[in-house]
Amino acid sequence: MLWLQEPALEDLARTVWAWWARYPAAPLEDEVVLVPSNGMAEWFKAEAARTQGVLAACRVELPARFAWRLLRLVLGPEASRATRTDKALLPWSLAARVAQWSALPALQEPWAAIQARHAESAQAGTPAESSLELLRWCAHAADLFDQYQWFRPDWLKDWAQGRHELRLSAHAPAPALAIPQPQRWQAALWQWLMEQEQTGPLGPKWPSRAALHEACIQRLRQAPVGSLPQLPGRLLLFGSTALPPAVLELLEAVSRHALVILAVPSPCQVMWTPLSEGPHVGQPLLSAWGQQARDFIGQVQAFEERLGHSEQRSITHIEPAEPTPAQSALGLLQTSIHSNQSITETALMARQQGLHLNDGSIRFVRAHTALREVEILHDDLLHRLTASNTGDRPQARDVVVMVPDLRTHAAAIKAVFGAYSEHDPRHIPWGIADQQAQADCGLPAWADWLLSLPRQRCTASDLKRLVDEPAVRRKWGWDEDDRRALQSWVDDSGIRWGISAAHRTALGLGAAGEAMTWQFGIDRMLAGYAMGRALDENHGPWAPGDHDTPEAPPVPWAPVESVRGLAAAAAGQLAALVRRLETWRLWASHPHEPEAWVQAFRAVWSDLFQPADAAQERESQAVDDALAAWIRHTQAADFTSPVDLEWVRWAVQEAHSQGNAASRFRSSGVTFCTLMPLRAVPFRIVCLLGMDEGQYPRPSRPRPGDLMADPAVSRPGDRSRHIEDRQLMLDALLSAREQLVVSWVGQQAVDQQHRPPSVLVGHLRDTLAAIWGSESLQSVTVDHPLQPFNPAYFQHGPLPATHAYEWQVPSAHMTAMGTPGGQPHPGPAHGAQAHAGPAIHAPVQPHSLLEDPSRVMRWLRCPVTAFWEERLGLRWPRAPSAPADDEPLSLSGLSAWSAWQEALQGLDVRVSVTGAADAAKPLWTRLQSKGLLPLGAPGRWAAQELLGRWRALAGHRQSAVSQGLDTRVVFSPSPFAGADPWKEDPKAWRLDQLVQAWWLQTLAAAQGEGFVLQTLAPDATAVGMPSDVAQAEQDVSQVLDTLGRWMAADSPAAATARLLGAVGLSNTDRRDAWDRERTRNPAWQRSFGAWDELDDQVGANEWPAATEALYGPFWRWCQTKLQLTPLELRPNAAAGHSPLASPLMPPEHTRPNKA
């Protein structure tokens, strides 16, 4: 056995290749290399091909896979067959024999606990959880036994022979400890399993993997040298810093027949004392973080001692080469670890070599959020990858970004690095590796959705995502136009949730009927194609009874009028898709045998999806492989019982997660991964993100019933997340060749309070401060602002310039205003040409505004919003509304707006007051058939309220028409008098609802054509008399002059019609009104700060004068010409027939925005 030891992985690899070149393998003989991870395997093969020119006849695999292959080589093909005690098979083997093992006396307590949890889940109304209790317990037992087979095979051997105890040493039966009483079922269950396996597929010889392992070692030790030609000539174990004792025993046995080379990347050239064994005298980071590597080296030395004593064989050592002098602070820190130097020795060496911490090799970044961490990283990498035009500059593939939990940063990574196309100079190639969260997106996510369909609500969002899925669109032949049309039809058809009425009944919600289900929407789409606009004042809706249920009356529905022409073919295909899903739901609602499940799922999968590219081909194949693996496991375990869909879903998820272990771990660009897969692999730049306190080291939660968790029975080589995470941190530190960047959320986004980093980062920073001093440590710690558009990024200062030049134009303008000569600061390397902001224009002439009254009305409504829209071309988006996945419980928001639009369309000036009452009946039918009313009693109440207000509106309009007055119906979003309709103080009125009508009246009065303004609001009636001609001309002149100046100003004026009445209130009320406006008006929020902020006192102080300048004439008209009469709000007003008995619009809290 040959032992190679180097601190750097690339030096270790070069030593191996040099040894291979000096002692080549026999012709046609493969080199066998065992590596700890797939990431290490990819690096080894790529590096060997790059340095040696070609890599051939080399088999790189994981130790566990080699162990199974070795069993077959030594014991024959039968040994490779899985036993029923394997981790993947044991849950199904136990589930198939539950009636037998549950009767064992030692299993009564856990079996009672399973039944209790089953009953609790069933009582809580979660049948899926209740169904899975048994399978989860079986999987938990299988996980424990799998761990014991790797790390405690001697325990299992004792248990199988009836000795239910925990021996402390693998090589001696004594001393031993008794098994705790709550966990004695483990020994009894294993003994029962071994008795059952006497009739298993491998017979009495090898009832478990531990027995196979022991038989293989005995055969290797007893066979004469040279009698096993099927073994490889030599075997290389490369890059491992931890291995189960069973694998080391196997390698020791193989070393009798083949040369075994142990290439170990030891962090230190000399043996060191872990911190857990006493006070350290050398490098503190090595002592605190390197216990796992120290234990592994101790295991190898123990094997060496046994080899020397038993068979006069030993391990030949090749000592590492002398380290090269450090060239940077990072190199010096790594050298101190390699040599186990103390802090004093390292500090002295730093002074002698003139190495400073601020040389750029080590950086710490404190951000406010995970998104800002990624944005800062993207800018830093762009600067580093483009800083030099020499051929030695790093490439994207030379960078690795490690995150403790990728799920916390995956979305931010995709948003930042995926924001730029390949043609953008800011594009950096990137890839996310080893991401278990990949199962939460793409085709695996759809497979999981199908496997839980009977329990899903099946919302409108689900249907729209299904239409968006590329694999679905390719299967059904939908192009981009079809996708947009289907999305629009889903919205127009009133779909909320549920596939059909039968689906809702299965969920226990049959009383909701079929309204607003997928089938309801599909019927409306098909009716739109077949009938067009078949629903009008003279024709009622078509109400078929094919889909009615006993729980609900027949549901009328109206056609979706936009479904027409050749594009309607997509609606028919969508109907076929929904029918296929409903067929699958009905079939999947009952238990079936595993083979039947797989066949049915493959059929529905092929009916719905067709991969659109190579990536989706791999995803689809992974889903099919998971199904195939489940079938193999159930067949090997003799499990043939019918199971619920929840069992199938659990099995596919488990098989898919195991299959992800063989996925690609390194991309052609920047690689994002956790700290595990690429541990110790060298990169020029190593970035550690998300190193927050509590996130790393990862919280350790021992598994219930894990007997190895007791410190009294621990052994060297046992898995420990506490020890492993520290070793991973040490490996990441040693794998950086040029730069190490450590980032964490170090500042609260709300109040800027300090947040500490991970305790390991704190230990690293303390070590650096002890070597170079606290001031040097602060110089390499950068605190970034909360926003990426902060002006500090565009000024000469400690912060690096940003490459997000989208923020350059406004920031350059602001910077130019505060720099000598008024010149903007230069931008970053890839920044676009910065331009000064818009120049201040001359005032707009009043005569031009008279020609554009709609423009004046927009500014009167809210000058701040109009300024942003007109001067900067910015359209403020409405707040994103929640997806319409729930049926409305009241007429509010968009549902109220849609209902009132439908009601106003049916308003006919020829309808008399009596006719209005009769016309309300088809209106109610129309609203129900379009899915605009809530279901059940809330729908009836909302209909009564809406119809009562509609009758009142129809009566008022008819009355106005009979008097020969011109009328105009405008949908108003808010009541006029505010929360209290009995307030007579105009300051409490919603005058912004009237300012535009006042402007039209005043314009007409200035031309001598004044008219009386009569307004009917939801809670009041208002009558406004016109001003005389002279006053109207003066008011028009003042408004136009003020707006002319404001339209040309460089900043908005602090005035808006909604705050008109609040100017004269108390200071407290004014502050509340100001802050409310900031909450609901994004333009106001961007223009002015909170009332109490010192930098916005200017805007608050200018508010009264600005309001008087623009709204003074309107305010005086309100006080002298406007008469307000509140409406009486009676509980039964909605059902009354008096025109003034009820408000015409819903209350303010149920009102959508103005339309």
Residue 760, domain CATH = 3.40.50.300
Collapse the DSSP code of 546 into the 3-class scheme (helix H, G, I; strand E, B; otherwise coil) and give the result.
Answer: coil
Does residue 616 lie within any of the structural domains? yes
> Do 517 and 647 belong together in one domain?
yes
Collapse the DSSP code of 636 into the 3-class scheme (helix H, G, I; strand E, B; otherwise coil) and give the result.
Answer: helix
pLDDT over threshold 90, residue 362: yes
Does residue 714 lie within any of the structural domains? no
What residues contact 1139, with CB distance under 8 A and at least 6 apart?
913, 951, 952, 955, 956, 959
Cβ neighbours around 269 below 10 Å, total:
18
Q: How far apart are CA 997 and CA 1011, in angstroms?
A: 11
**How is residue 866 written in tokens?**
């109009």
CA angle, corner 316, sides to 314 and 317, nearest 5?
130
CA atoms within 13 A on the CB side of 179: 21
For the four alpha carbons of 290, 293, 296 and 301, in that order, the dihedral sign comes to negative
Does residue 827 lie within any of the structural domains? no
**How is residue 970 written in tokens?**
């405008």
Place of tokens 């997806």: 883
The two counts, helices (H) then strands (E), for the chain are 42, 18
Collapse the DSSP code of 1020 into the 3-class scheme (helix H, G, I; strand E, B; otherwise coil) and give the result.
Answer: strand
CATH number at residue 508: 1.10.486.10
What residues contact 603, with CB distance under 8 A and at least 6 apart?
none
Query: Which residues partner with 402 through β-bridges?
Result: 673, 688
Query: Which residues partner with 318 through β-bridges?
Result: 4
Q: How far apart are CA 2 and CA 315, in angstroms?
A: 6
pTM of the shown model: 0.76
315 touches 300 (CB < 8 A): yes
Collapse the DSSP code of 890 into the 3-class scheme (helix H, G, I; strand E, B; otherwise coil) and give the result.
Answer: coil
**How is residue 374 written in tokens?**
């990624």
Place of tokens 């705790």: 180
Q: Poorest-confidence range of 47-61, 293-307, 817-831, 863-877?
A: 817-831
Tell me which residue range forms the domain holding 20: 2-81+215-318
234 touches 259 (CB < 8 A): yes
Collapse the DSSP code of 933 into the 3-class scheme (helix H, G, I; strand E, B; otherwise coil) and give the result.
Answer: coil
Can you give the pLDDT at residue 142? 93
CA angle, corner 975, sides to 970 and 979, nearest 5?
175
Does residue 793 lie within any of the structural domains? no
Q: Residue 448 burial by CB count (10 A; 0-12/13-18/19+): exposed, middle or buried?
A: middle
Confidence of residue 517 (pLDDT cuts 50, 70, 90): very high
pLDDT over threshold 60, residue 975: no
**How is residue 24 written in tokens?**
């080549």
- Give the count of domains, the chain: 5
926-956 per-position pLDDT tens digit:
666 677 677 767 777 777 777 776 676 676 6
% the chain with pLDDT above 70? 76
Q: Residue 76 burial by CB count (10 A; 0-12/13-18/19+): exposed, middle or buried?
A: exposed
- For residues 877-899, one letter each, b for 16 or more C-beta atoms within 10 angstroms of the residue's C-beta and e for the rest, the string is eeeeeeebbebbebbbbebbbbb
DSSP assigned state of 60: E
Does residue 790 lie within any of the structural domains? no
% the chain with pLDDT above 90? 33
DSSP assigned state of 1101: H
Q: How far apart are CA 159 and CA 146, in angstroms?
A: 15
> Do 958 and 1060 belong together in one domain?
yes
Q: How far is CA 720 from CA 75, 273, 735, 903, 989, in A?
A: 33, 18, 22, 68, 68
Q: How far apart are CA 69 and CA 883, in angstroms?
A: 53
Does residue 910 lie within any of the structural domains? yes
Q: Which of 660, 591, 584 is nearest to 625 (CA)?
A: 660
Q: Do you know the residue count of the chain?
A: 1155
> Do 1033 and 1109 belong together in one domain?
yes
DSSP assigned state of 604: H
995 touches 1057 (CB < 8 A): yes
218-229 per-position pLDDT tens digit:
999 999 988 888
Collapse the DSSP code of 1016 into the 3-class scheme (helix H, G, I; strand E, B; otherwise coil) and give the result.
Answer: strand
Confidence of residue 1154 (pLDDT cuts 50, 70, 90): very low
pLDDT over threshold 90, residue 762: yes
Q: How far apart are CA 242 and CA 229, in angstroms?
A: 29
Which residue, 173, 201, 229, sits at the end of a domain?
Answer: 201
235 touches 260 (CB < 8 A): yes
Confidence of residue 771 (pLDDT cuts 50, 70, 90): very high
CA angle, corner 1043, sides to 1040 and 1047, nearest 5?
140
> Do 149 and 270 belong together in one domain?
no
What string of DSSP letters covers 821-837? Answer: GGPPPP--TTPPPP-PP
pLDDT over threshold 90, residue 368: yes
Q: How far apart are CA 516 and CA 547, in angstroms?
A: 13
> Do 1027 and 1149 belong together in one domain?
yes
> Do 741 and 849 belong together in one domain?
no
571 touches 562 (CB < 8 A): no
Confidence of residue 728 (pLDDT cuts 50, 70, 90): very high
What residues contact 177, with CB distance under 8 A and at least 6 apart?
165, 166, 168, 712, 713
Does residue 332 lie within any of the structural domains? no
Place of tokens 């019927």: 523
CATH number at residue 240: 3.40.50.10930
pLDDT over threshold 60, residue 312: no
Q: Which of 258, 315, 319 is nearest to 25 (CA)?
A: 258
Q: How far apart are CA 844 and CA 856, in angstroms?
A: 12
> Do 428 and 532 belong together in one domain?
no
> Do 846 and 978 belong together in one domain?
yes
The sheet that has 1020-1024: what strands, in order across it?
A: 1013-1016, 1020-1024, 1122-1126
Find the helix packing angle between 127-151 and 108-123, rounded to 10°: 150
Which residue, 783, 805, 820, sits at the end of a domain?
Answer: 783
> Do 635 and 689 belong together in one domain?
no
pLDDT over threshold 60, residue 910: no
Pairing of strands 259-264, 165-169: unpaired
Q: How far is CA 154 from CA 90, 183, 310, 316, 481, in A?
A: 20, 17, 21, 30, 66
What residues contact 973, with CB distance under 8 A and at least 6 apart?
1151, 1152, 1153, 1154, 1155
679 touches 433 (CB < 8 A): no
Q: How far is CA 227 from CA 207, 257, 768, in A?
A: 26, 8, 57
Question: For 88-108, what is the mean pLDDT?
Answer: 89
> Do 134 and 77 belong together in one domain?
no
Enclosing H/E stretch for 683: strand 683-688
Does residue 814 lie within any of the structural domains? no
**How is residue 897 written in tokens?**
């707006």
Q: Which of 367, 967, 1006 is nearest to 687 (CA)?
A: 367
**How is residue 26 written in tokens?**
């026999």
Question: For 869-877, what is the mean pLDDT?
Answer: 76
Can you give the pLDDT at residue 1138? 28
Q: Which of 806, 739, 785, 788 is nearest to 385 (CA)?
A: 739
Amino acid 89 reads: L
Can you give the pLDDT at residue 879? 54
Most confident of 273-282, 503-512, 793-802, 828-837: 503-512
- Cis, peptide link before residue 320, omega less than 30° from 0: no
CA atoms within 13 A on the CB side of 860: 27
What residues contact 627, with CB distance under 8 A and at least 6 apart?
598, 601, 602, 652, 655
113-143 per-position pLDDT tens digit:
888 877 776 666 565 566 788 899 999 999 9
643 touches 591 (CB < 8 A): yes
Question: For 445-473, what is the mean pLDDT?
Answer: 94
- Cis, peptide link before residue 785, omega less than 30° from 0: no
Top-confidence residue, 1116 or 77: 1116
Q: Residue 712 burial by CB count (10 A; 0-12/13-18/19+): exposed, middle or buried?
A: exposed
639-664 per-position pLDDT tens digit:
999 999 999 999 998 887 775 544 55
**How is residue 753 written in tokens?**
């309070």
> Do 914 and 1058 belong together in one domain?
yes
Separation of CA 826 from chain center: 37
983 touches 996 (CB < 8 A): no
pLDDT over threshold 60, residue 1090: yes
> Do 678 and 646 belong together in one domain?
no
CA atoms within 13 A on the CB side of 829: 14
Find the helix packing angle between 569-588 and 518-531, rounded to 10°: 150
Collapse the DSSP code of 209 into the 3-class scheme (helix H, G, I; strand E, B; otherwise coil) and give the result.
Answer: helix
